[in-house]
Amino acid sequence: MKERLTDALYGLGWAAVKKLPEPVAVRLGQQIADAAWRRRGGGVLRLEANLARVLPGASAERLAQVSRAGMRSYMRYWMESFRLPVWSAERRRTSFAPEGLDHLEKALASGRGVVVALPHMGNYDLAGAWVTTRLGVPFTTVAERLKPETLYDRFVAYREGLGMEVLPHAGGSAFGTLARRLRAGGLVCLVADRDLSASGIEVTFFGEATKMPAGPAMLAVQTGALLLPVTLWYDRSPVMKGRVHAPVEVPEEGTRAAKAAAMTQQVADVFAAGIAEHPEDWHMLQRLWLADLEPRPDTADGAPSGGPAQDARPGQDAGGEAVGEVAGEGEGAGRAESDRRTGA
């Protein structure tokens, strides 16, 4: 029943929201976000608990203020995503203004292949649509299979319609395909700030231990591709902002695993700096730090069973926490998909 309800909600979003006048869609998104925030469900409380690490010493009032802005930012992501398929190519080209674009352009021109790693910030679907329309560069990403299968199919069709190649995160085959794309000089985009599976790399993030996907760094180590962290955020304008950071270099010494671990920590540090600057645009409504995980009998380390619990947004993300909250779901409802840029 829950799966059918989730699929129906997303179907309604794509069918109805994209037909609304822009001002109406914006107000609707804010109203849904505010309703979810006032309900104080598990996702909102988890968001505030996560933000407490980002904003140490912040008062309860400050955390509530940022979490409310965060829910509005998150719903802006969803309302934009529901409407992206009907945006003109010109609007896609002009709705994102990244800094540091020269890092990406030089990396693409090198022919070595490029891995872009992103946290759950802003709207990475919009950034992806901008890459395919403004730069004219196709890219490959990964999506965790969702239940029901019809919901997974919706997200794959949506992202492919924006010019992305979407690989299923299953059986380890995605890594080999991504490696081939990179060796051919291609672009791979992966969401990379949460991976609580056994293959995740432990890092220090805002002073505490968590795990992040090994995929981005391992791909760079094994293929020679350049690894570029990217952070995204909104301001008061209709145009999303972002920053392409300098490449994370592969260490000269050490085993592949040690090199990947060092690079993943560097990526985590870049993410932390970007999130600290724009905490309201970090859409992390799930448990992240290892200290917050509750041991379960089916896992050795307390991580949820069944593989990486990434996001279901463009590339990996599927569920809408704000939508789930309004529908009465609990923490993480609707965001069980691995994001469009899974850690492979």
* pLDDT over threshold 50, residue 329: no
Residue 144's pLDDT band (cuts 50, 70, 90): confident
Indicate whether 19 pLDDT > 50.
Answer: yes
275 vs 146, which has greater pLDDT? Answer: 275
Three-class SS of residue 170?
A: coil
Report the sign of the C-alpha dihedral through residues 37, 42, 48, 51, in that order: negative
| Predicted model pTM | 0.85
- Kindly report which listed range (42-46, 94-98, 258-262, 311-315) carries the lowest average pLDDT score: 311-315
Q: Nearest Cα to 342, choosing from 230, 245, 215?
A: 215
What average pLDDT does this structure show over 10-16?
A: 70
244: amino acid identity, one letter? V
pLDDT digits (tens, 9 = 90+) for 164-191: 999 987 656 799 999 999 999 999 999 9
The predicted pLDDT at position 154 comes to: 76
- Please determine, for residue 334, whether its predicted confidence score (pLDDT) is greater than 60: no
> What percentage of the chain reaches a pLDDT higher than 70?
79
**Is the separation of the CB atoms in 167 and 155 below 8 Å?**
no
Rounded Cα distance, 89 and 246, in Å: 28
Q: Is the pLDDT of residue 338 over 50?
A: no
Give yes or no for residue 28 having a pLDDT over 80.
yes
Of the two residues 272 and 22, the one the predictor is more confident about is 272
Look over the chain and give the mean of its residue pLDDT values, rounded to a whole number.
Answer: 84
Q: Which of 336, 325, 337 is nearest to 44 (CA)?
A: 325
Maximum C-alpha span of the chain: 56
User: What is the per-residue pLDDT for 18?
Assistant: 80
DSSP 218-283: HHHHHH--EEEEEEEE--SSSSEEEEEPPPBPPPSSS-HHHHHHHHHHHHHHHHHHHHHH-GGGB-
pLDDT at 308: 30
pLDDT at 14: 66
The residue type found at 315 is G
pLDDT the model gives residue 146: 61
Kindly indicate the confidence band of residue 16, based on its pLDDT and cuts at 50, 70 and 90: confident
Q: What is the DSSP letter of 123?
A: -
With cut-offs at 50, 70 and 90, classify the pLDDT of residue 8: low
Mean pLDDT is lowest, of 186-190, 212-216, 244-248, 334-338, for 334-338
- Which range has the worst mean pLDDT, 19-23, 143-147, 157-161? 143-147
pLDDT of residue 158: 82
Contacts of 16 (CB under 8 A, 6+ apart): none
Using pLDDT thresholds of 50, 70 and 90, give the confidence band for residue 248.
Answer: very high
Residues 237-242 have a mean pLDDT of: 96
Give the range among 114-128, 151-165, 186-200 with minimum mean pLDDT. Answer: 151-165
Question: What mean pLDDT do residues 185-204 have?
Answer: 93
Task: Tell me the DSSP string of 188-222.
Answer: EEEE-S---STTPEEEEETTEEEEE-SHHHHHHHH
Name the pLDDT band for 155 (thresholds 50, 70, 90).
confident
Is the pLDDT confidence value at 253 over 90? yes
Task: Count other C-beta atoms under 10 Å from residue 51's C-beta.
Answer: 21
Over residues 69-81, the mean pLDDT reads 95
Least Cα distance to 245 among 115, 344, 338 occurs for 115
**Would you say residue 313 has pLDDT above 50?**
no
pLDDT for position 168: 85
Q: For residues 54-73, give the mean pLDDT.
A: 97
Best CA proximity match to 196, nearest among 134, 289, 119: 289
